[in-house]
Structure 1
Amino acid sequence: MSPAETYEVEFLDAEVVEAPRLPARVTPFPDEALASWLLRLADPFGVSPKALLLGDGEADRATHPEWWRKPDPLLIAAVARGTGVSDDEVRALSFADWPDDGRDDALPERFSRQRFTVERPARQPRRIGVCPDCFAEDDIPYARRTWTLGWLAACPIHGTVLVRACPECGKKLRLPALSSRDHFAPDRCPHCAFRLARTSTRAAPEPVVRFQQRVLSGRPKGIVDLPEVGVLAWSVAVALFDVLLGTV
């Protein structure tokens, strides 16, 4: 090619698409899980929360099915930017500030005999327990953050045993994926649409409720304060619970 045939070429950076800021604000409810809030927020638009709020740069960091438990700081910033709430408000809907990786919090029925009846407990993402009494009191049904803790056995408000399977069809209850465009109705079974607020409840034993409250109070700091034992690190307490459960 001769010099006369050369021409200038301008190189342009690939455009990174950012999600727009939404025109309306949806206020999170007390103890609402981040996944629940995002699903409620996206529901009127008929699109998934992931498509609505995350741009190209953030979507790559949201591949884990439960990224909302301990979201990446860039995802927190993207959600805050798109919804008009503060980063701190978004973080408070998750377990981002809790120490360690949260593996024991995510495992369904963490402190149960399944730890000793199977070689490795199955990873079952988005499993949840619900309180029918809470749903019955809700003007707008939503999923509580504490309900997503695999070791939580009873509702901290009503002291009733959490329901983890639909009483009508027997299917395990799960939160929808944040890539879902389906209508969000957390108070209904996702399989048979049974209204979970109609489920009969039973009171958890009072010692269980008191013990659970101790665990729940210390968990955000990574400790458990046990009567006549003292303060234990979360990892030590988990190991102790496993040993005790293995003897029964």
Structure 2
Amino acid sequence: MVSARLPVAPRPFMDELLSSWMARVAARYGSEPRELMVYLAGQGGRDAGARQVDDVAPDMELLRLWAQACRIDPERLRRRSLASRYPDRPEGWLLTEIVPVCLACFDADVAACRDAYLRGHWRLAEQVGCPAHRTMFLDLCPTCRGRLRPSFRLLNGMLRPFCRKCDAVLTSRGGEEGSSKRDFAIGVLEFQRQISRIIRRDPSRLVRLEQAIRTLWAPLDRDGATRPVLALWFEQSGWNCPYEARAAVGSSAPLQHLSVRWRALTLVILHYLFGAELVPGAVLPEAALVLFRRAAPMPWLAQSRDARNRKGKRTIEASAERVHRLSKRPVHRLNGNFLDERGDFGRIHP
């Protein structure tokens, strides 16, 4: 069969996600990307319609289908993938599911008389706020409070983002943001800039940073606990991990499974524990030791024979060994690990 040629196909923006561009192309025909993919696959793409294009590392067969239909160089589309834009970034630092958005960026698109679109850097795991507008990203619809999955529709000649669930237009106009929220966003933006620099320039510090984050989201004390180690950081006794964050507990890449607010809170805790560097050094602070000693043994907790011989210094590896030893001891039934148990964690920081 002869491949289809679409009469109208907008060009991708420089910082646009592949999935966002495809959604805009489909919206021009009152369709969704999957429906248009099925149509293009039926014109010569065999079973391609059953698959979705991955923003991280897309299938070139699918990209060629879209490139032929839209009269665009497939290499140009490949360069829009996250693997091409961030070749040295570990996969654990890329979001794979919900893409958080900045409503102010959408309004800026409208003010510039162009289609709204999803930015590529919104899929970076450490990005929790918009540097341009100094606001926190959203992954919940401000109208229906459901999980946000934007769709694009024509409105006044331009494609605007709508909530797929409640059909509300996504805009920051009319919303009020308190000074406390803006101050919090500004503080978190500094943390995310520091982590971005570590990811780009300092592999050795990145290893320690990833280990600290995994330990914070490790289960408490024994396998099967649904409460993460960072529960000890809260004031509330008997605090239970919300359902939305359960997938991150015990994961090797916790930030991939967390909403914006939980990723931001993780950055705040890192700042409290390890200061401006956000990365543990050779000697762990006492507050970090209190948390890390309560972690259940996990495969990624490394053991080091050299750490045993060091006296007067407690490193990450040494504390991991202590975690393994403590995990073999009996755990009191009122330690607060599970939903039906109670425990007085107290507050470990002033």
| Smaller-chain TM-score bracket | 0.5 to 0.7
Q: Secondary structure at the match of 1:172?
A: coil
User: What is the percentage of aligned positions where both structures have the same residue?
Assistant: 25
Is 2:144 aligned against 1:169? yes
Which residue of the partner structure matches residue 190 of structure 2? 210
Cα distance in 2 between the residues matched to 1:189 and 1:175: 5
1:1-248 → structure 2 map (5 Å cutoff): 17=1, 19-47=3-31, 48-55=35-42, 58=45, 60=47, 63=50, 67-97=54-84, 98=87, 102=91, 104-107=93-96, 125=97, 127-139=98-110, 140-175=115-150, 183=153, 187-198=161-172, 199-201=175-177, 202-203=181-182, 204-216=184-196, 223-225=199-201, 230-232=202-204, 237-244=209-216, 246-247=229-230, 248=233
Question: 1:57-102, CA deviations, whole angstroms, 9 ceiling, x for partnerless residues?
Answer: 6463564556243211222232222222223321233213245883
In structure 2, stretches of 5+ residues that fail to align are 218-228, 234-350
Amino acid at match of 1:106: L
Cα distance in 2 between the residues matched to 1:239 and 1:142: 34
Q: CA deviation at 1:233?
A: 7.8
Amino acid at match of 2:134: G
Greater Rg by CA: 2
Q: Secondary structure at the match of 1:106?
A: coil
Cα distance in 2 between the residues matched to 1:101 and 1:50: 29
Note closer, same or farther for the CA distance 1:183–1:105 as it changes in structure 2 (3 Å cut). same
Q: CA deviation at 1:237?
A: 4.0
The answer as to whether partners of 1:164 and 1:173 remain within 8 angstroms in 2 is yes
Question: 1:2-56, CA deviations, whole angstroms, 9 ceiling, x for partnerless residues?
Answer: xxxxxxxxxxxxxxx4531323341212421111111111222234331344457
The answer as to whether partners of 2:39 and 2:49 remain within 8 angstroms in 1 is no
Cα distance in 1 between the residues matched to 2:144 and 2:138: 13
Note closer, same or farther for the CA distance 1:101–1:74 as it changes in structure 2 (3 Å cut). farther
Note closer, same or farther for the CA distance 1:86–1:235 as it changes in structure 2 (3 Å cut). farther
Q: 197-206 or 159-168: which moved more?
A: 197-206
RMSD: 3.3
The answer as to whether partners of 2:5 and 2:69 remain within 8 angstroms in 1 is yes
Cα distance in 2 between the residues matched to 1:56 and 1:66: 17
Note closer, same or farther for the CA distance 1:152–1:36 as it changes in structure 2 (3 Å cut). same
Q: 147-156 or 36-45: which moved more?
A: 147-156
Amino acid at match of 2:64: A
The answer as to whether partners of 1:50 and 1:59 remain within 8 angstroms in 2 is no
The answer as to whether partners of 2:20 and 2:117 remain within 8 angstroms in 1 is yes
Q: CA deviation at 1:197?
A: 1.1
Cα distance in 2 between the residues matched to 1:81 and 1:212: 39
Note closer, same or farther for the CA distance 1:18–1:68 as it changes in structure 2 (3 Å cut). farther
Cα distance in 1 between the residues matched to 2:207 and 2:71: 36
Cα distance in 2 between the residues matched to 1:91 and 1:214: 29
- Which gives a bigger RCO, structure 1 or 2 (Cα 8 Å, sep 6+)? 1
Cα distance in 1 between the residues matched to 2:109 and 2:38: 28
TM-score by length of 2: 0.48
Aligned residues: 201
User: Which one has the bigger helix percentage?
Assistant: 2
The answer as to whether partners of 2:41 and 2:47 remain within 8 angstroms in 1 is no
